[in-house]
Amino acid sequence: MQRTLKVAAAQVGSVDRNADKNETVQRMVKLLEEAISQNVQLVVFPETTFTTFFPRHLFEDPAELEKYFEQGDDITNNESVKPLFDLARSKKVDIYVGYAERTDDGRGFNTCIYYSGNAGKVISKYRKVHLPGTKEPFANPDAVNQLEKRYFEPGNLGFKAFRAPGLVVDAAKKDTASTDVKETLGKGDAIMGMLICNDRRWPEAWRMYGLQGVELIMVGYNTPYNAPDLFGFRNPMTPEQAEKEAYYHHKLVMEANSYMNACFSISAARAGFDDGKYDLIGGSAIVSPNGYTIAQAKGVDDELVVAEIDLEDCRQGKEKTFDFDRHRRTEHYGLITSQTGVIEPELL
Ligand code: CDV
Nearest CA to ligand 1 atom 3: 198
Nearest CA to ligand 1 atom 6: 223
The reported pLDDT for the residue numbered 175 is 47
The reported pLDDT for the residue numbered 188 is 84
| Amino acid residing at 161 | A
Nearest CA to ligand 1 atom 4: 223
Q: How far away, in angstroms, is 78 Cα from ligand 1 center?
A: 27
Q: How far away, in angstroms, is 164 Cα from ligand 1 center?
A: 27
Q: Is the CB of 201 under 6 A from ligand 1?
A: yes
**Assessment of whether the complete model's pTM goes beyond 0.75:** yes
Atom of ligand 1 nearest to the CA of 130: 3
Q: Is the CB of 186 under 6 A from ligand 1?
A: no
Q: How far away, in angstroms, is 198 Cα from ligand 1 center?
A: 5
Q: What mean pLDDT do residues 36-52 have?
A: 98
The reported pLDDT for the residue numbered 169 is 57
Contact of 245 with 226, CB cutoff 8 Å: no
Give yes or no for residue 178 having a pLDDT over 70. no
Positions of E strands within the chain: 4-11, 42-44, 70-71, 94-102, 108-116, 121-127, 162-163, 191-196, 216-221, 264-269, 272-274, 278-280, 285-287, 293-296, 303-310
| CA–CA separation, 124 and 70 (whole Å) | 17
Nearest CA to ligand 1 atom 5: 198
| CA–CA separation, 155 and 267 (whole Å) | 19
Highest mean pLDDT among 155-169, 171-185, 288-302: 288-302
Render pLDDT for 120-141 as a digit per residue (tens, 0 to 9): 999 999 999 999 999 999 999 9
Atom of ligand 1 nearest to the CA of 201: 10
Residues in the chain: 348
Q: Is the CB of 110 under 6 A from ligand 1?
A: no
Render pLDDT for 75-124 as a digit per residue (tens, 0 to 9): 999 999 999 999 999 999 999 999 999 999 999 999 999 999 999 999 99
The reported pLDDT for the residue numbered 2 is 80
The reported pLDDT for the residue numbered 290 is 98
| CA–CA separation, 238 and 98 (whole Å) | 31
The reported pLDDT for the residue numbered 183 is 59
Give yes or no for residue 292 having a pLDDT over 80. yes
Q: What mean pLDDT do residues 220-248 have?
A: 95
Which three-class secondary structure string do you get for 126-149?
Answer: EECCCCCCCCCCCCCCCCCCCCHH
Q: How far away, in angstroms, is 246 Cα from ligand 1 center?
A: 10
Sorting pLDDT into bands at 50, 70 and 90, what band is 180? low
Q: In the beta sheet, which residues pair with residue 217?
A: 193, 265
| CA–CA separation, 119 and 146 (whole Å) | 36
One-character DSSP codes across 89-117: HHHT-EEEEEEEEE-TTS-EEEEEEEEET
Contact of 102 with 66, CB cutoff 8 Å: yes
Our measurement of the distance from residue 84's CA atom to the centroid of its chain's CA atoms, rounded to an integer in Å, reads 18
CA dist list (Å): 343 to 100, 258, 331: 35, 29, 19
Q: What are the counts of helices (DSSP H) followed by strands (DSSP E) for the chain?
A: 11, 15
Atom of ligand 1 nearest to the CA of 133: 7
Give yes or no for residue 167 having a pLDDT over 90. no
Residues with a catalytic annotation lie at 47, 128, 197
Render pLDDT for 249-272 as a digit per residue (tens, 0 to 9): 999 999 999 999 999 999 999 999
Give yes or no for residue 184 having a pLDDT over 80. no
Q: Is the CB of 152 under 6 A from ligand 1?
A: no
Sorting pLDDT into bands at 50, 70 and 90, what band is 170? low
Q: Is the CB of 52 under 6 A from ligand 1?
A: no
Q: Is the CB of 49 under 6 A from ligand 1?
A: no
Per the model's pLDDT, the better-predicted residue between 49 and 235 turns out to be: 49
| CA–CA separation, 328 and 320 (whole Å) | 12
Cα angle value 110/56/155 (rounded, 5°): 15
Q: How far away, in angstroms, is 182 Cα from ligand 1 center?
A: 38
Q: Is the CB of 145 under 6 A from ligand 1?
A: no
Closest Cα to residue 50, out of 73, 82, 72, 74? 82
Domains, the chain, ranges and CATH? 4-338 (3.60.110.10)
> In a 10 Å sphere around its CB, with 0-12 CB exposed, 13-18 middle and 19+ buried, how is residue 299 labelled?
exposed
Per the model's pLDDT, the better-predicted residue between 236 and 218 turns out to be: 218
Which of 146, 199, 247 is the best mutation target for the ligand 1 pocket, counting ligand atoms within 8 Å of the beta carbon and taking the most?
146
